[in-house]
Amino acid sequence: MPSSTNTMSIKATKRRFLAPFTGQSLNPPPVWLMRQAGRYLPEYRATRSEAGGFLKLCYTPRLATEVTLQPIRRYGFDAAILFSDILVVPDALGQTLGFYEGEGPKLDPIRHVAELARLSPEGTGEKFGKVFETVARLRQDLPDETALIGFCGAPWTVATYMVQGEGSSDQAEARLWAYRDPEGFGTLIDILVETSIEYLDGQVKAGADCLQIFDTWAGSLPDTEFDNWVVEPTKRIVEALKEKHPAVPIIGFPKGAGASSLWYVSETGVNGIGCDTAMPPYMMGEAFDGENVVVQGNLDPLLLVTGGQAMEDRVAQILELMTGKPFIFNLGHGIVPQTPPENVARLVELVRQGT
């Protein structure tokens, strides 16, 4: 590994999750699971119910801390991930946001540069402050050997929700705006880049020792748009965070990017690359060789629902192919609500056996 990553070695000695970022290959590899704090856990559902809603849960440090810790207590993952949501950023910026059971998030859509005046980048302090307080509590309450991952949504993915006003399969409104008025749309992206830097910086200062940038909707863009709206904004965030906190590794997760993930890694400078379920494990094991990047992934969350021999075989295959490489075991996407908790226990047991 080049000298730029040597600065990570101090923290890495304490928390095995961080070892791969210093170029080490651990056997068994570190493991955590996207959406490991979530609806599949009865104790999560109870705490959410106590909070009286999803957003309230995100903004109540005591309860957000509790749900973050729940899967650590159960499974002893090598990393906890701050419980929050990628839409906390538009919410803190002042865009009206609500979560409705069975419908997902709804925002008052922003579809023109003039409507950006509705956002208040200087007004994020109160809501971000709640999140930072959660991070600080977590760092106190977590076992010392457990790493704490902070995160944000990537500007492109967050923008798709802000412009569409909800989740969508084609992100049409954001893509249309970007084609019609790249400068205006670029202003929204700029706001998100700056706000995300402030948000991640605050999480690190409060105690996060790794960051992940979720770009759920990176996958369907033409290459020019992928460069403009996925790669470039992420690169700016990574550069700014590296300047402030060179010892904190950053994992990018450009879901659906496929072969373009390699380009994403080399251009953005992320220290880790999240691979989704569509990335063949042999490619995960080979494509990033020489890229000085930790690979993270990629069991199908639906195999975690069904469990059994099919899951055991796939886990063995992934571990086999990733042995000897800087690797973190994870899913290819978040845990789904119908996952039996005992399958998660079995998965962790399998990974802990190593190869």
Site residues for a second copy per CB under 8 A: 169, 172, 175-176, 179-180, 219-226, 256, 258-260, 276-278, 280-283, 300, 302-303, 305-306, 310, 314, 332, 336
Residue 132 or 185: the one with the smaller Cβ distance to a second copy is 185
Residue 84 Cβ vs a second copy, minimum distance, rounded to whole Å: 22
Task: Say whether 39 is catalytic.
Answer: yes
Residue 36 or 298: the one with the smaller Cβ distance to a second copy is 298
Given 45, 74, 85, 139, which residue is catalytic? 85
Alpha-carbon distances, residue 51 vs 17, 57, 351 (angstroms): 31, 5, 33
Residue 146 Cβ vs a second copy, minimum distance, rounded to whole Å: 29
> Is the separation of the CB atoms in 279 and 259 below 8 Å?
no
Residue 175 Cβ vs a second copy, minimum distance, rounded to whole Å: 5
Query: Distance (Å, rounded) from C-alpha 161 to C-alpha 315?
Result: 33
Measured in whole angstroms, the distance separating CA 215 from the mean position of its chain's CA atoms is 8
C-alpha triplet 33, 66, 15: angle, nearest 5°: 50
Q: HSE-up of 13 (CA within 13 Å, CB side)?
A: 4
Task: Say whether 175 is catalytic.
Answer: no
Residue 35 or 175: the one with the smaller Cβ distance to a second copy is 175
17-20: long-range contacts at Cβ-Cβ below 8 A with a sequence spacing of 24 or more? Answer: 17/78, 17/79, 17/146, 17/147, 17/210, 17/328, 18/147, 18/209, 18/210, 18/249, 20/272, 20/294, 20/326, 20/327, 20/328
Given 44, 59, 161, 264, which residue is catalytic? 161
Residue 60 or 228: the one with the smaller Cβ distance to a second copy is 228
Residue 163 Cβ vs a second copy, minimum distance, rounded to whole Å: 13
Task: Say whether 141 is catalytic.
Answer: no
Alpha-carbon distances, residue 296 vs 47, 54, 156, 250 (angstroms): 29, 28, 21, 12
Task: Say whether 35 is catalytic.
Answer: yes
Task: Say whether 161 is catalytic.
Answer: yes
Residue 14 or 180: the one with the smaller Cβ distance to a second copy is 180
Residue 226 Cβ vs a second copy, minimum distance, rounded to whole Å: 8
Given 15, 16, 44, 48, which residue is catalytic? 48
C-alpha triplet 256, 259, 260: angle, nearest 5°: 75
Residues involved in catalysis: 35, 39, 48, 85, 161
